Every structure is written in C-alpha cells, then in structure tokens.
Amino acid sequence: MNLARYFLDHNLEHRANKVAVRYTPPTDGPLGGPEQQWTFADMYAWSNRVGNHLRALGTREEDRVLFALTDTPAFAAHWFGALRIGAVVAMMNPGVTAEDWAYYLAYSRAAVLVTERCFADAFAAEIAFALHRGQLRGVIVVDAPLDLAAQATLGDTCATADSSPDDPSVWLFSSGSTGKPKACMHVNGDFVFNTENYAKKVLGIREDDVTLGVPKLFFGYATGTNLMFPWAIGATTCLFSERATPETMLTHIARYKPTILTNVPTMIHRMLEHPLCAATDLSSLRMVLSAGEALPAELYRRWVDRTGVEILDGIGSAELFHIYLSNRPGAVKLGTLGTPVPGYTLRLVDGNGADVPPGDIGTLLVGTDDAYAGASNAFGYHRDRAKSRDTFRGAWTATGDQLRVDEDGYYVYCGRGDDLLKIGGVYVSPTEVENCLLTHPSVREAAIVGVEKDGLVTSVACVVVTAETPGLDREIQDHVKLRLAPYKYPRFVRFYEVLPRNDRGKVARNELKRALVGTL
C-alpha cells in the first residue's frame, strides 16, 4: 500500500491526460498570472523525478522529509515523490518564526528539507545550523534553477517502495494550543481508511469534481480534501500560493468554478461580509465543507440564504488524520456535527471512563467498527510517550472534545475539555453561548473564555462588533439572558477589532485568557 500508487498512479490507466492540478501564480494583478495546468501523467513523471532526486541525496525508507512549502504543484509532486520511495513526510507552516523553524528542524530530525527560495533565504541561519548538526543531510529548493536542473537529469521513472498498510508515511502536527506542536505519526492505511469511508461514502466525491480550499496543504484537513481525496477518484484540484483572504477566495471561485469548497467558519463569515460576495457567481458549488471550529447556526443560515449551498460541518483532528463525524448531503441538522462517518465508532465518557447518559456532555472517544483495522488513528506522538499513552488507548483515541448526543442521534459540540466553564456548579458550553451571541445584529465574531477573578472562574465574551456604542455590553448580556438559561450569560463583555487566531484559523483562546487576567 504505497500512497503514491493509491492516490496518483491509478489515474494513468484511464485519465492520464486529464488535468490534475490548476494553478495561478500570484502575479500580474488581482487575478494572478496565466493559469498553469498539469495532467496526471505530468504529476506522475514529476513525482518520479523527485523520488530519484531524494534517493540521490541519500534518502532512505522511513527517513523524515520536512516540507516547508506554499500551495503550488511542486508541493504535490514532492509530497508523492517522497512517499513513492517510502520516506516519511512531515509538513510545517513555512510562514512561522525563526524560533519555530529551528524547533521543527530539530524536533523532526529530518534528513531532507523541501522548501522554496524565499524561505531558504529568510531562514538560512536555522537551516545552516541543522546542516551543521549533521541530522539534516540535504535541502531541495523547489523553485531553484539548480535543483530543477538536477531533477531533469534523473529520469521520469522511479522504483516505487513496496510499502505496507502499517508502514509509517506522514506526520501531521497538532495545533500546538497547549505548547509546541506535536507530530502525530501515521501509517499508510490511515489515509486509505478515511478516504474510502469519508471522502467516498459521505462526501460522494466524483471524478467531475473540482476542489478548492481555504486552509493550506500543510494542514491535514486540506491535504485530504484538496489533494488526496480528489486524486483518489480522478478529480481536479485548484491551488494558489498566496494567503487566503475573502478577496482571493472569491476571485479564485470565479476563476476555477469549483464544485467543492473546503472552508472554515471564520472565512465563511468574512466572505459573506466582503463587497465582492454579492457580485460573485457561486453557482458552481455543490458542497461546502467546514471544520476546525464550531459552525454557528446563524452563520449557516446566512450562507445558505446567499448561495443555496449546504455546508457540511464536521470534526476531525491530526490524531485521526481527518473527519470522523460529519453532517451528510441532504441531511444537515443545524448546530450539530452530524453522525459518525462509516467505519468509526464514538463514545462519550465521564472522568472515570464510563459512558454518560444520553443528552449529557461527555469526552469523545473515537474508535472503529473493526478493532483490527485500526481506523485512521495515529500510533503515537513523536517523543512524547506519556501523552501518547493518555491519547491513544488501544483501538480508541481520546480527543479531549466535549460533546452530547441529541434526541435524533446527532452530535452537538460543546467545546474542548479545558474550555468548558462551570458557573454556579453547572457546566456551560462556550459554543452554545457563542452561537447565541452571533444572533445579535451587532456581533460579527464571538469567543467565550473563562478567566479567574477573586478565586473563581467567570465568563468573558470577547466580541467583534459592527460598531461599539454606549451600553452595547449590557445589551449583549441581556440578549443572552433572554434566549438561554440566565446563568449562562457572560459576566463581562470585551470588544476587539479582530480575535487572535493560530495558523489553523482557530481562535487562540489561551491568548485571550492570558491578556484578560487581572483586567476584570
């Protein structure tokens, strides 16, 4: 089970000349330069050249190859080139600080770094130090003339490693919300399992689909929906290397006419607010995916009113590669994460590991219908044995997410375990309060956090509003009191121009908490 064979090579039999990748360089004005296209045959040959290049640098099976790339066709070619020879791919956000670059290079102990000229120049000192240490043996700069010339001389055929389902293949980094990002170590079978069950059985992805994504390919959510899933069925992916903004997303939708858009709630909101939205033709879309943070019901309604296109909200994690709980096309229930993806089994447990009664909030454990198959759960965190034991419990993975099941069997997200607030001895779900806040006409974004005051935890609403007016804080509190149980209203309201977010687009709640300590 070599992932290059499974996702890429099978397309050569019937669709070798079909377009696999569409890409527009970020030059020559708002629409970019002339569109570039690569067929599946092109990508196959390119990935073979990459495999030969990596082997020429001394890369062996199970060596780590660290990717620090933007979303270009070179990402896909090098990704499958590394997997083709049995190497292990680790992906980092290239736009982080020098300190983070040093961390990823040292932590991964990568034998080869694959990056771009702009990053190789900006972080030359960190790369040089890793080379000096001797662990990093080579660097491939995908847009450097010397590396491109070297690959051209190595031939378009490459012996593919005879990998098994249980061979290590990809590291997916956690979001690092409780410290430095940790690598979730995955095997080949994890990606095939989720593709067969989520992409094919839930999404029903088709050969005629065209995919486009807001999140970048270094994030497993996007690696799945905007590279692996479309190629598994012979669909076309559209890539762009610049940062995702409402303007770039609406521009690329107008250009590429995607049928499936991978999105996140924050960008959905920002796209709806942008002046271009009303003038952009969104009729090509047949499906929008949302994950990464809770999707407010009010935001869903606004999107459907504008587009008529369903949003399939779901939840996944780096620990399980991708989405294991999702709404279905034609069966969306607002305010929920849907039902389990085929092949996955879910449990909600209390602090003692016992199943909670229906309707109660519990910690989510994710398993599989077949314990032998292993679902798509990682086999551990790199260099963190204690955390691995706590998270990966045989056939079960402890997510730390708090959910409840409603009367229809749909799962409702209530927050992370450390985000739940206990007010007057009763647990309060930040997500529920945030959804309520977003129904206020002045509130555009909201996050509820718990901050200690006088030895007790109190709730603070951190909101972005259309305009701050006298008495708006009290008005917002009253809005919640009228719609939820009175004890759930936020005791304090703080106004922000923007909410801080991490590189996955999630609200940086810990950053908000730290800044609020001592200010209430």
Q: Is residue 403 part of a domain?
A: no
Structural domain boundaries enclosing 475: 419-516
Residues 21 and 130 in one domain: yes
pLDDT score of 27: 66
Residues 319 and 427 in one domain: no
Determine the Cα–Cα distance for residues 243 and 93; give it in Å rounded to an integer: 12
Q: How do beta strands 396-405 and 236-239 pair?
A: unpaired
The reported pTM is 0.86
Do the beta carbons of residue 203 and residue 220 sit within 8 Å?
Answer: no
Q: Is residue 394 part of a domain?
A: no
Q: Is residue 375 part of a domain?
A: no
pLDDT score of 424: 58
Q: Which of 333, 362, 384 is the last residue of a domain?
A: 333
Q: In what helix (H) or strand (E) does residue 126 lie, and over which residues does it extend?
A: helix 124-133
Q: Is residue 200 part of a domain?
A: yes
Residue position matching structure tokens 């909670």:
356
Do the beta carbons of residue 77 and residue 8 sit within 8 Å?
Answer: no
Which residues, other chains included, contact 168 with Cβ-Cβ below 8 Å and sequence gap of 6+?
62, 88, 185, 186, 187
Residues 116 and 227 in one domain: yes
Residue 457's nearest CA partner among 500, 480, 427, 483 is 427
Query: Bridge partners of 212?
Result: 261
Look up the CATH number of the domain holding residue 249: 3.40.50.12780
Residues 328 and 442 in one domain: no
Q: 315 to each of 48, 369, 401, 459, 517, how far by Cα in Å?
A: 34, 18, 10, 25, 30
What's 102-118 look like in SS3? HHHHHHHCCCEEEECHH
Residues 441 and 299 in one domain: no
Residue 138's nearest CA partner among 82, 210, 93 is 82
pLDDT score of 32: 59
Look up the CATH number of the domain holding residue 471: 3.30.300.30
How is residue 295 annotated by DSSP?
-
Residues 300 and 446 in one domain: no
Residue 274 amino acid letter:
H
Question: Chunked in runs of 10, what are the mean pLDDT values of the chain (520 residues)?
Answer: 97 97 77 84 98 97 98 98 98 93 97 97 97 94 90 92 96 77 96 97 98 96 98 98 94 96 92 93 97 87 95 96 97 95 95 93 88 77 95 91 95 82 73 90 93 82 94 95 88 95 82 91
Residues 116 and 237 in one domain: yes
Q: Is residue 353 part of a domain?
A: no
Q: Which of 333, 357, 374 is the last residue of a domain?
A: 333
pLDDT score of 227: 98
Residue position matching structure tokens 């959510």:
221
pLDDT score of 180: 83
Determine the Cα–Cα distance for residues 50 and 64; give it in Å rounded to an integer: 15
Q: Which of 333, 355, 384 is the last residue of a domain?
A: 333
Residues 149 and 293 in one domain: yes
- How many domains are contained in the chain? 2
Q: Is residue 389 part of a domain?
A: no
pLDDT score of 178: 55
Determine the Cα–Cα distance for residues 229 and 199; give it in Å rounded to an integer: 6
Q: Is residue 94 part of a domain?
A: yes
Residue position matching structure tokens 């939708």:
253
Q: Is residue 379 part of a domain?
A: no
- Which tokens hold the place of 201? 């059985």
**SS3 (DSSP) at 463:** strand
- Which tokens hold the place of 362? 């519990």
Residues 68 and 196 in one domain: yes
